[in-house]
Structure 1
Amino acid sequence: MADAKRLIGRRFSDASAQSDIKLWPFKVTPGPADKPMIMVSYKGEEKQLAAEEISSMVVVKMGEIAEAFLGTKVKNAVITVPAYFNDSQRQATKDAGAIAGLNVERIINEPTDAALTYGMQQKGTNVGAKNVLIFDLGGGTFDVSLLTIEEGIVEEIKRKHKQDISGNARALKRLRTPCKRVKRDLSSTVQKLIAGLKPVKMCLHDARMDTSSVHDVVLVGGSTRIPKVQKMLQEFFNGKELCKSINQDEAVAYGAAVRAAILDDAVVGDIMRVLIPKNTKVPAKREAIFTTNRDNQSNVLMRVYEGERTRTQDNNLLGEFVSARIPPAPRGVPQINECFELDANGILSVSTEVLLTGQKTKVTITNDKGRLSKEEIEKEAEKYKAEDEEYRKKVEAKLALKTTHTKSGTLSRMRRLTPSSGRLTRKRFKMLLLRPFIG
């Protein structure tokens, strides 16, 4: 079996599913609720497997590899998906992670993660915003995304996708011949398979940009190694040197790992901090000071939630963005001012400022899709009131213990390093440790 990703989150009767099924050598049948089921033979028995089940097997294996390398249990995951995935496909992917026994913290577009990898590689080498075109050509799909990267913040401008390069039956027949011959044939006929550079042209047109506005073209996906693809793309961008410095096969996975690290630092204890309580008169403005929770943390992921539950994961995520770059400093020292402004129309604007540098970022949340009603919020809060209170006490106790341990360990080290002026140094450091709790 293959291409389970092309069925995940789809109905058997979907036109795209039917088109793919005709090209596969294995059998796919309709299951409950029109779910496509893949027929397999295992130990002499015929079985039906959903795409989510097959994907979960892959996730389980990946988890086992990670655990063997890390020597510890893996419980959480960040999973990347093609840019064209709709809500049902993303939810089905999340379900696959749950079947595998993992808590899927985030589903992220593959081009965005590739851009994050590119941004990490270019870190400190450029000043100002850069427009980057991500050309993602894999084994079955083709995505083109145009993003702006500035100080590590990635913003997607436009994307064009749904170019199915597996939809050519004749090409697929060639792909089942010996590998060397396939690569040779594909190099010369890929122009037909991906319908030229139409998605690239459409992406630039929709973003109201021309080729001169693109600073870098980043190649992602194993098929971008095909010489014909690179030649076509380079000619289209007037001879511009293509970015091949990141590994085409690993770029997305690397970006996902970086994103997971950012998420790990996002919310200490997963406790919801309410800045605009319910029944607040609008327009309203609230500010709060946040800080880092590890040494030399370069930025902070700001996530905005709606709801009254104690844990952030139990509330409705409205949006997120990354703060401006934070200069290297011990944990708890940097101060990031976060400002929430809610206007009379219910439009929420959230901005952050790194107080040491004065650099700011801002996002406006206007989309009401998925927003909870007032009644739903109150019902959820009342239903889980006791559970939330118990969880809050556990987290507060855990954080208190962690803070005490950090103070003790740091002061002990400082005694060894500065025996002649220990009193002054310890007093100064105590003030620094208290700063995260101000505001």
Structure 2
Amino acid sequence: MDGKGNNAPAIGIDLGTTYSCVAVWKHERIEIIPNDQGNRTTPSSVAFADAERLIGDGAKNQATMNPANTIFDAKRLIGRRFSDGKVQEDMKLWPFKVIQGPANTPKIVVSYKREEKEFLAEEISSMILGKMKETAEAYLGKPVKDAVITVPAYFNDSQRQATKDAGAIAGLNVIRMINEPTAAAIAYGLDNKSDINGKINVLVFDLGGGTFDVSILTIEQGGGTFEVKAVGGDTHLGGEDFDNRMVDHCAREFKRRYNKDLSENKRALGRLRFACEKAKRILSCSTQTSIELDGLHEAIDFSMKFSRAKFEELNMSFFNKCMETLKACLSDATIEKSCVNEVILVGGSTRIPKVQCMLQDFFEKKKLCKSVNPDEAVAYGAAVMAAKLTGNNNKSCRDLMLMDVTPLSLGIELIGELFDVIIPRNTPIPTKKSKIHSTVCDYQVCVDIKAKEQELQITICWGAPRGFGQFNDIFEIDANGILTVTSEIISTGKTEKLMITNENGRLSKEEIEKMIEDADKYKQEDQEYKKKADAFNALEDCIYNMKNKIKSMKKSRKLRKMEDAIVDTAKWIKHNQAASVDEVHRMKEDLETICK
């Protein structure tokens, strides 16, 4: 089923830190959709210039020329507080400016059309999602509405909700959010369903540009049933960190050689980062490469050899952290490493030879599964889930059954900073659990509800002496991994539902609607700019064609008139870049009339 009537099918989007990918079920299989450049993945970058906004390849291609206004790593900001230590670390490395907004939210500051603009991470992510939506619409020839979006397995509630909000701002109906390693496992299961007899244990090792996840699942019934046993990860560990270590090393070497500090030269750092990323990729297939940059800083050329051994030495602490997380995940799943049937590599950073070598050593020379495309598997799995949720009758979609888990323990903080767990980590979702608590002081008015990596607060008026006010705390996690908390005062039956609002970083309905309006405005501006650019391009084409036409003409008054018209039109273009589309069209019509 490719959709009903004029409705486009639901799409699957892998919203990555560095690259994003979109896929759809079409012609009885999953199609990875290439973008307007023909690439199957799109850089998760947005750039703001004097005259236009660029998203994807266009943004990344001009990043070194316009570093302060080219935004990347929005995924590392989304759902986080400005005061978060990870955000503060990243801010030292980003060439763009981040400030503290209301409710301790980080806001990105750029110059756009000679005006200063502030954006939340949700808005930047929505622009990338909008680009993926447009890519799918161009391929399908229909407007797209429904989507499954993937998130790192270790994303907390705030990060998940913020990602869902980004989807809404992009004009998408987010029918489900699923964990990235789970999506990759679905891709593996579908590709290998004929080989899966009974039940197998798979470990998905997902090391991307900015996040790391490890998931242990059992797959059974011919690749149709997926049960997640345990997840582990780090939402701030990936290829970007490896690049940063290389950049730091090169900057130190530049300082040692020339006694010059690169840290304040954003453009030089941007060029160096680009070169380091390229060198990192080369070092996955070669043991040595070199970084060559002309006029890097104060007209000084920089050249440096970089070996694979040096790259591994710089990043060994990160690689070791990945392995420690993997061991903890196996322990949580109560599965011995010898019982793991397949180790599936996902994410571009799993191409690093040292990562593969450490995994093979840990699993005692077991062959690693590389049958899924590490860049596309997550979008592939998301598209399968999207097809299932929208009623696709293909057997592969119909038989798909997914049982995922929550990555973090959730509960109530009691007196003395004791943490009373209500939903332990790795509990299957959706789930609903409750526990009865009592007030710990007279006329207690609020309760702190905490989870690892996040803090929520619900305020309830008890009006009862210590120990007499009993309340039933109900924690509910939906299939998207998003939390709702309800607290019921037992003596009165009064209930209070936790609404995570702007006070703790959650966007209100009104704010989302305003951002949707802004997104539409930016889209219209992009379309107007493209129309004008196309009109000027058509006029310049016309001049070129007319020049060729008059080459073979004999000298005459008509020829002189045509030559003058061509020269005048070229001058007009030079001095009238702000002209309207209609004016450009009129100039083209006038030139064509004279040159008939």
TM-score (norm 1): 0.61
1:46-125 aligned within 5 A: 46-125=116-195
Q: 1:181 aligns with which of 268, 279, 301?
A: 279
CA offset at residue 299 of structure 1? 3.0
Is 1:229 paired with 2:328? no
* Alignment CA distance shift 1:47-1:263 (3 Å): same
CA distance in 1, matches of 2:232, 2:394: 39
CA offset at residue 68 of structure 1? 0.7
Aligned sequence identity (%): 55
CA distance in 1, matches of 2:77, 2:92: 13
Which moved further from structure 2: 10-19 or 233-242? 10-19
1:304-339 C-alpha deviation (Å, 9 max, x unpaired) = xxxxxxxxxxxxxx9669xxxxxxxxxxxxxxxxxx
Q: Contact between 1:187 and 1:227, CA under 8 Å: does it hold in 2?
A: no
1:97-149 C-alpha deviation (Å, 9 max, x unpaired) = 11111111111110110011111111122211111000111112221111111
1:108-257 aligned within 5 A: 108-151=178-221, 152-162=224-234, 164-165=237-238, 166=240, 169-173=244-248, 176=273, 177-183=275-281, 184=283, 185=308, 186=311, 189-195=314-320, 197-257=323-383
Q: Contact between 2:319 and 2:355, CA under 8 Å: does it hold in 1?
A: no
In the alignment, structure 2 segments of 5+ residues that lack a partner are 1-70, 250-271, 284-307, 403-427, 436-473, 478-483, 496-596
Q: Contact between 2:219 and 2:227, CA under 8 Å: does it hold in 1?
A: yes
CA offset at residue 167 of structure 1? 5.2
* Alignment CA distance shift 1:181-1:298 (3 Å): closer
Tell me the amino acid that sits aligned with residue 61 of structure 1.
K
CA distance in 2, matches of 1:42, 1:60: 19
1:355-406 C-alpha deviation (Å, 9 max, x unpaired) = xxxxxxxxxxx96453778998xxxxxxxxxxxxxxxxxxxxxxxxxxxxxx
Q: Contact between 1:141 and 1:164, CA under 8 Å: does it hold in 2?
A: yes
Q: Contact between 2:100 and 2:106, CA under 8 Å: does it hold in 1?
A: yes
Bigger relative contact order, structure 1 or 2 (CA pairs below 8 A, ≥6 apart): 2
* Alignment CA distance shift 1:157-1:294 (3 Å): closer
1:256-311 C-alpha deviation (Å, 9 max, x unpaired) = 0000001011xxxxxxxxxxxxxxxxxxxxxxxxxxx84657636789xxxxxxxx
CA offset at residue 93 of structure 1? 0.6
Q: Contact between 2:384 and 2:397, CA under 8 Å: does it hold in 1?
A: no
In the alignment, structure 1 segments of 5+ residues that lack a partner are 266-292, 304-317, 322-344, 346-365, 377-439
Q: Contact between 1:76 and 1:103, CA under 8 Å: does it hold in 2?
A: yes
CA distance in 2, matches of 1:233, 1:205: 16
Which moved further from structure 2: 212-221 or 79-88? 79-88
CA distance in 1, matches of 2:401, 2:204: 25
* Alignment CA distance shift 1:17-1:233 (3 Å): same
1:159-204 C-alpha deviation (Å, 9 max, x unpaired) = 1111624557534436713445334344564433332511111111
SS in 1 for 2:80: coil
* Alignment CA distance shift 1:189-1:230 (3 Å): farther
* Alignment CA distance shift 1:296-1:240 (3 Å): closer
CA offset at residue 39 of structure 1? 1.1
CA distance in 1, matches of 2:192, 2:494: 47
* Alignment CA distance shift 1:89-1:320 (3 Å): closer
Tell me the amino acid that sits aligned with residue 164 of structure 1.
L
* Alignment CA distance shift 1:187-1:253 (3 Å): farther
CA distance in 1, matches of 2:193, 2:475: 32
Tell me the amino acid that sits aligned with residue 115 of structure 2.
E
Q: Contact between 1:113 and 1:256, CA under 8 Å: does it hold in 2?
A: yes
- Matched with 1:258 is 384
CA distance in 1, matches of 2:231, 2:396: 31
CA distance in 2, matches of 1:295, 1:93: 29
- Matched with 2:109 is 39
- Matched with 2:398 is 299
SS in 2 for 1:230: helix
CA distance in 2, matches of 1:170, 1:319: 37
SS in 2 for 1:194: helix
SS in 2 for 1:25: coil
1:233-267 C-alpha deviation (Å, 9 max, x unpaired) = 111111111000110000000000000001011xx
Q: Contact between 2:167 and 2:173, CA under 8 Å: does it hold in 1?
A: yes
Q: Which one has the largest radius of gyration?
A: 2
- Matched with 1:414 is none
- Matched with 1:406 is none
Q: Contact between 1:142 and 1:194, CA under 8 Å: does it hold in 2?
A: no
CA distance in 2, matches of 1:236, 1:157: 20
CA distance in 1, matches of 2:375, 2:165: 25
CA distance in 1, matches of 2:159, 2:103: 15
* Alignment CA distance shift 1:256-1:298 (3 Å): closer
SS in 1 for 2:142: coil
Q: Contact between 1:19 and 1:167, CA under 8 Å: does it hold in 2?
A: no
SS in 1 for 2:232: strand
CA offset at residue 90 of structure 1? 0.7
Tell me the amino acid that sits aligned with residue 131 of structure 2.
K
- Matched with 1:2 is 72
Please tell me the root mean square deviation across aligned C-alpha atoms, in Å: 3.1
CA distance in 1, matches of 2:394, 2:129: 32
Q: Contact between 2:225 and 2:400, CA under 8 Å: does it hold in 1?
A: no
